[in-house]
Amino acid sequence: MGETQFLWSVVLIYRTDISGGYTPPRFSEDVRVVRADSEDAAQDVAIALGREDEVRYGNTFDEEVTWRFLGIASLQLLQIDEPEAGATLLSRSFDSLDRYRDLFEVDDLPEEPQNPL
């Protein structure tokens, strides 16, 4: 392994289903850091991590819970050599704070300013 390894931020998307049909599927994202020498290699590592996370088990109500990896939502080269406190691991922009608030159920964000700077 003679090539330089870089750090990458990856966002993995999962789907959780519970048997019984009374609850809709839930979706989640995990932001992870991987080390790889290229974008393709980072994608391969991220996919392997996502597949390793897949699980099926019975809960206390005798229902089957399935947690399935759906794919990679984002893959970004980190501009740091080693993560440290305060380092930015992922940066995304949104066209609407209201849509973000609704999507992620975040109620304590301030209102969007009417006259931005």
Global confidence as pTM = 0.74
pLDDT at 112: 56
d(CA 40, CA 5): 12
pLDDT at 18: 93
Residue 14 has phi, psi (to 5 degrees) of -125, 155
C-alpha dist (Å) from residue 9 to 37, 70, 81, 89, 99: 13, 17, 12, 6, 24
pLDDT digits (tens, 9 = 90+) for 20-49: 878 888 888 889 999 999 999 999 999 999
pLDDT at 106: 63
Sheet architecture: strand order including 64-77:
26-36, 6-18, 64-77, 55-58
Residue 74 has pLDDT above 60, yes or no: yes
C-alpha dist (Å) from residue 39 to 53, 89, 97: 21, 16, 30
pLDDT at 82: 74
pLDDT at 85: 77
| Mean pLDDT of the region 40-66 | 95
